Every structure is written in structure tokens, then in C-alpha cells.
Amino acid sequence: MSESLVRTRQDLRALKQELVEGAALVAGIGLVPLTQGNLSLRDPKSGLILMTPHDLAYDQMTTDDVVVQDLDGKVIEGRREPSHESQVHLAVYEQREDALGIVHAEPIYTNLFGVLHKPIAPLHVGTLIDVRGEVPVMPFAPSGSRQFGYDMLEVMGDRNAVVWANHGMLAIGDSLGKAIHCTVMVEISAQLYHMALQHGEPHQIPERYHGMLVG
Ligand SMILES: [Zn+2]
């Protein structure tokens, strides 16, 4: 084995651990029921993508279950099948250089807006910072293809999150931690938006402040 391959394997071990811990966190705070959803991150050094496997409970997942793929989807390492939505993640890594982590989750209030096909207003300042605007809705389509990823990226523009109609959401970050944070902030604004609408029309954060926000 070449020295660089040995080094890549060592780097990947730490990143696999990061992915498994991230998946446990997302499941632990109720953002993905059962084996729904999927997470991935990109190794900035090798460019390889680490993906959660298909249909495995998050509380049983270990670093051995992580699937390593190249950008074309070829499995480089791992004994399991990659998530069936891995092509969507790969489309994002291919087209967005800023993406180092991705979460596809199924939070309930975000899904509420997903079934209404209604964009989520970034009512909380943290959502606006993370997403960079309103969370758009990707029209319903089967989500297993690269083309779904390309179509989704067009809907997203430069934003870091998107609701999938009738099927959860996807968030992008410059680390997996940021993608998880973004997922939480989308769900918080979805909850706020839903609750606020029971009382009236919520106030949006004025546009003149959008470039000045710090969380
Ligand atoms: Zn899904």
C-alpha cells in the first residue's frame, strides 16, 4: 500500500467517526425517524465522499458501516450499500465546491410545509444566516437520481437548504456540523412559522439587515 493511501485511510477513519457521531446526533434530536434520511461529508484532501449506508438504524451504525465513494459514485471502501439518495449528495458535491457536509432529514414541521408545498420563511435570525434566505420547495419527484440533485440545485440557487415536497429536506454546510446546524435552524423556523400563523401574520427580518447578521 502506498504511503499516501495509508495516510488517506488514517484521515478517513476520523471522518468516519465524525459522520457516525453526526448521524447519532441528528437521530437523537428527532430529525430523522427510524432509518429515514442520510448524511454525508467530503474529505477535503482526497475529495472522497463518506456516506451513511442504506437502511441501517442510526443507533447501530459504526465506522465500519460508512461507505466511501468517489464523485462518480464508485464505492472505494465499505461493505454496505450506500444510501439510495447518494446520487443526490454527489450532485451537490460535484456542483458546489463550498459543500463539505450534507444532511437529508425528515423533521416534522419542515415536512408540514413540504406537504403544503409552501416555502419556509426564515423567521429566526439563525435560519436566515444559515440558509441565506427563504427555504424553497423542490417540486415532488423521485429522489434516487443524479438529475433530481441537479434540479434541486437549481431550485436552491446559492441557498444552503431546500424542502423536498412531501419528503423532508436537505441542508448543505462547509462542514457536517454546519449542515446539521442548518437543518435544526430550518426546523426551528418551520415550527415558529406554523405557530405564528395561528396568531396572525409573522414579521419577517427586514431585508436591509440581511447582510449584517451574526449568530
Ligand atoms: Zn429520503
**180: Cβ–Cβ under 8 A, 6 or more apart, which residues?**
22, 25, 26, 101, 103, 171, 173
What pLDDT shows up at residue 99? 98
- The closest of 8, 42, 29 to 174, measured between CA atoms, is 42
CATH fold label, 3-212: L-fuculose-1-phosphate Aldolase (3.40.225)
CA 36 to ligand 1 centroid distance, Å: 6
Q: pLDDT category, 10, cuts 50, 70, 90?
A: confident
Looking at the DSSP bridge assignments, the partners of residue 120 are 135
CA 207 to ligand 1 centroid distance, Å: 33
CA 32 to ligand 1 centroid distance, Å: 10
Residue found by looking up cell 465499505 in the block: 78
What pLDDT shows up at residue 107? 97
Query: Tens digit of pLDDT for each residue in 55-108?
Result: 999 989 999 999 999 999 999 999 999 999 999 999 999 999 999 999 999 999
- Residue type at position 81: E
CA 77 to ligand 1 centroid distance, Å: 23
124: cell is 429566526
Query: Tens digit of pLDDT for each residue in 114-136?
Result: 999 999 999 999 999 999 999 99
Report the run of H or E that residue 112 belongs to, with start and end.
Answer: helix 108-116
CA 93 to ligand 1 centroid distance, Å: 18
What pLDDT shows up at residue 120? 97
CA 210 to ligand 1 centroid distance, Å: 31
CA 9 to ligand 1 centroid distance, Å: 29
- The closest of 66, 98, 83, 94 to 168, measured between CA atoms, is 83
Query: Tens digit of pLDDT for each residue in 184-202?
Result: 999 999 999 999 999 999 9
What pLDDT shows up at residue 170? 98
Whole-angstrom Cα distance, residue 129 to residue 127? 5
CA 206 to ligand 1 centroid distance, Å: 33
CA distances from 214 to 126, 163, 171 (A): 8, 24, 19
Whole-angstrom Cα distance, residue 83 to residue 159? 24
- Name the phi and psi angles at 22, rounded to 5: -65, -45
Percent of the chain with pLDDT over 70: 97
CA 149 to ligand 1 centroid distance, Å: 12
Query: Tens digit of pLDDT for each residue in 146-168?
Result: 999 999 999 999 999 999 999 99
Q: What DSSP line would sit under 6-31, residue for residue? A: HHHHHHHHHHHHHHHHHHHHHHHTTS
Q: In the chain, where are the structural domains located?
A: 3-212
Kindly report the pTM of this predicted structure: 0.94
What pLDDT shows up at residue 210? 85
